[in-house]
A and B are shown apart, each in its own frame.
Chain A
């Protein structure tokens, strides 16, 4: 899997918040194109900070971060949206807009980048059929189950053909069966060439899918098992 330049690289990254919380401490990670990586750890281990740094919501106090060819530590603020367009985000709480139907929720990402109506129709239909919601395009989030809402979130994340998908505990708010479906979908997306970084605390899920696992504890990488065995 390790070939060429890494898609994500953390070089000696340290992040301390203003209140004095040491979120990450000298973290070195390389994630290559096409990898599926689980990031695990207890609450407060630094998982969220790890994702926030990748999204350039936060900047490190020390070290360098490279994502999709962007050097994030010295990135200009106006370039941040363009970095984010190269990745898709899946949230734990789905973040679907209740006043928009499924189609519009997914189309949202494309409207932001100024896609044409034709392109929107084509790409949204494709993304919805990929997550198995082709027949629910006109439904509103209220009419969907938690698992279906998360699949809308997943369709929204992949509709713009990102090179990287960041999933922040995507199974945290769905039942166990649906959790497996969600991760299977992510695995399918990964199989098609998209790099997936998934933060989770569900160890059973991690064991069953047998992928690379990065374990964080007190802001440090304490294990990085590319075989998935913990």
Chain B
């Protein structure tokens, strides 16, 4: 195709958008709605992923020594655990810290109770020493737990395997749901774009029939519709990115009021999201227009006496 042809057809595609502006606005509107949902799914997914990875980083196993273990022995046990290959870090929890942690979890009103249990002795005397252990690779969880169990003075381990698995399952669920939502919305967007193009095509039936009669190739006829689809997609992408920015800021501000949340900053994902929306717009625009016009173009008859 010659360049001047291409330029002419691009202009025709843009004219189509303006000529059918109501339909264009409607389809951009629905596309924006689809993309907003998709964007929301992506942002949710990104944020959940962030929360989960933070949780995973903080994922620790509490190892407790036997009741009669001295502080020195507990420290030795901690050093032995630290030397295990899959252990990232260890942290010693004294009896006093243990009680404070318990009071923090259960509430200040229980502080007296713990004093009573201590029977006037050293604070937290009834508690074992604790060692907080974090792992390098959660996949080697079971082996590492066995290795820790074998260390002298280790009495029991607060096994958080279930929590870990729940975290991983939750992430997988979010990812799967995200992919499903994106897939469904992609199909919806495709149908919407295809229908808009079909209406434009119907409006330009006369023109198409003349084009065919005077010897236009199918690509020549198709290109303005493809351009129309792509431009609609890109307009929707730009609008969605802007809207999503506003909505995201509001939602994050509201959530931060009720809980301490370190949300992913919009700026760090904005280009990625815009790219995704543009890609979605371009792909749906191309496929949608090709689908709607393909059927019409394959039909060689009917254009001569189409009306």
**A interface residues (Cβ-Cβ under 8 A, vs B):** 48, 51-52, 55-58, 77-78, 80-85, 88-89, 91, 93, 95, 97, 99, 108-109, 111-114, 116-117, 156, 160, 168
Contacts and interface: CB of A to CB of B under 8 A. Distances in A.
B214 A56 contact: no
Given A57-B301, A112-B220, A84 B214 contact: yes
Contacts of A160: 214
B4 A78 contact: no
A83 B216 CA distance: 10
A81 B39 CA distance: 44
A163 B240 CA distance: 54
A85 B303 contact: no
Contact of A156 (B8, B207, B214): B214
Contacts of B4: 114, 116-117
A55 B214 CA distance: 10
A52 B214 contact: no
Contacts of A77: 300
Contacts of A58: 300-301
Interface centre among A108, A160, A168 (most CB of B within 10 A): A108
Given A84-B214, A85-B214, A114-B2, A52 B207 contact: no
Contacts of B207: 97
Contacts of B303: 57
A49 to B, nearest CB: 10
Given A97-B206, A114-B2, A114-B4, A48 B305 contact: yes
Contacts of B218: 78, 81
Interface of B: 1-2, 4-5, 8, 19, 206-207, 209-218, 220, 300-305, 307
B213 A55 contact: yes
Given A97-B206, A112-B220, A85 B304 contact: no
A31 B19 CA distance: 44
28 contacts: A51-B304, A52-B301, A55-B304, A57-B300, A57-B303, A57-B304, A58-B300, A58-B301, A78-B217, A81-B212, A81-B216, A83-B215, A85-B214, A85-B215, A91-B304, A95-B210, A97-B206, A97-B207, A99-B19, A108-B211, A109-B214, A109-B215, A111-B8, A112-B214, A112-B216, A114-B4, A114-B5, A116-B4
A158 B205 CA distance: 22
Contacts of A89: 213-214, 304
A112 B1 CA distance: 10
Contact of A108 (B214, B301, B307): B214
Contacts of A85: 214-215
A52 B300 CA distance: 10
B304 A52 contact: yes
Contacts of B302: 57
A82 B303 CA distance: 17
Given A48-B304, A160-B214, 12 more contacts: A51-B304, A56-B300, A57-B300, A57-B302, A81-B216, A84-B215, A88-B214, A97-B207, A112-B214, A112-B216, A114-B1, A116-B4
A77 B217 CA distance: 10
A116 B3 CA distance: 11
Contact of A84 (B206, B213, B307): B213
Nearest to A81: B215
B288 to A, nearest CB: 23
A156 B206 CA distance: 15
Nearest to A56: B300
Interface centre among A57, A78, A83, A89 (most CB of B within 10 A): A57
A51 B213 CA distance: 12
A111 B5 contact: yes
Contacts of A168: 304-305
> Nearest 7 CB-CB pairs, A to B?
A85-B215, A84-B215, A112-B216, A81-B215, A114-B2, A109-B214, A114-B5
A117 B8 CA distance: 11
Contacts of A81: 212, 215-218
Contacts of A97: 206-207, 210
Contacts of B301: 52, 57-58
A52 to B, nearest CB: 6
Contacts of B5: 111, 114
Contacts of B216: 81, 112
